[in-house]
Amino acid sequence: MRDFKVYILLKEILKSREGCDIEELSDKLSIDTEVIKHIVLNFKSLSVKGNKIFVSRITNLVIEAWIKGYDIVELALSTGWKDVEKLCGEILSRYGYKILLNYRFRHCGRRYEIDVVGIQEPYILLVDCKRWKRGNVSSLIHAAEEQVRRAQEFMYAFKPDKENINILNKATNLTIIPLIVTVIDVDIKFHEGVPIVPIRYLRDFLISFKNYEDMIIKFNFKL
């Protein structure tokens, strides 16, 4: 663990949706106000206006802290549900993926939603984000099976339109990979070919999944 004062300060800032009062933080956390200001200066995503601390983008702050060595799991749990999806999308984006958040579509009269669609041709990653605080294996298995069903429906329903036409370049042969991303660490890594990846290892997965692609369930289709 890095500096504990920095860590608890970041958690408090992430819990707040508005500017954090420095004096109140100082009293609550027993950290000198000048120390707080010094910590804030070390994060590009934070700024001080008057006596308050503001976050430019929550997902950027979490990733910035993660890069500096702080625990992404606890930091992510300090954010709201939608911010976990945005955090996942931000990580994908930093590794060259074009992103669609909360992608909704219809097929055969039913409505579906994918938390994060990440496209780096020829791959399309369909990510279901789980912000559970406990890793229940049966729930993860069910989530993986549901994500496979969504992937199959997505394959038949996806068409570039005015909202997403710019995310595809020239590839017409595409490969869909359903994926579960969890905030906490879990004991299960795959279920019937669906990767189950703790968010702290997501960047490792993005770098290396092509090396064990034969273990991963995929759906190939043409536009």
Q: How many CB atoms lie within 10 A of CB 177?
A: 21
Instruction: Please tell me whether residues 87 and 31 are part of one structural domain.
Output: no
What range defines the domain where residue 22 resides? 4-77
Q: Are 64 and 127 found together in one domain?
A: no
Please, where are the H alpha helices in the chain? 4-15, 22-29, 33-41, 58-67, 72-77, 81-94, 137-157, 202-208
- pLDDT of 175 reads 95
CATH number at residue 217: 3.40.1350.10
Indicate the pTM of the whole model: 0.81
Do 162 and 112 sit in the same domain of this protein? yes
Q: What is the pLDDT of residue 184?
A: 84
Residue 85 and residue 169 in one domain: yes
**What is the Cα gyration radius of the chain?**
20
Q: Rounded to whole angstroms, how far apart are CA atoms 158 and 192?
A: 24
Q: Do 86 and 37 belong together in one domain?
A: no
**Total structural domains in the chain?**
2
In terms of domains, do 71 and 95 share one? no
Name the residue among 131, 133, 128, 134 with its Cα closest to residue 191. 128
Answer with the one of 52, 77, 102 that is the final residue of a domain.
Answer: 77
Q: Which residues of the chain have pLDDT under 70?
A: 1-2, 17, 80-82, 135, 160-171
Q: How far apart are the first and last CA of the chain?
A: 47
Q: Is the peptide bond before 198 cis (omega within 30 degrees of 0)?
A: no
Phi, psi of 43 (to 5 degrees): -125, 120
Domain edge (last residue) among 77, 104, 121: 77
Considering the domain architecture, whether residues 133 and 46 belong to the same structural domain is answered as no
Please answer whether residues 86 and 78 qualify as being in contact, where contact means their C-beta atoms are separated by less than 8 angstroms: no
Task: Kindly report the CATH number assigned to the domain that includes residue 8.
Answer: 1.10.10
* Same domain membership, residue 85 and residue 20: no
Tell whether 159 and 198 lie within a shared domain.
Answer: yes
Asked if residue 129 and residue 34 are part of one domain, the reply reads no
Q: Quick one: 37 and 100 in the same domain?
A: no
Please provide the DSSP assignment of 94-147 as one string: HTT-EEEEEEEEEETTEEEEEEEEEEETTEEEEEEEE--SS--HHHHHHHHHHH
* 19 and 119 together in one domain: no
- pLDDT for the residue 1: 44
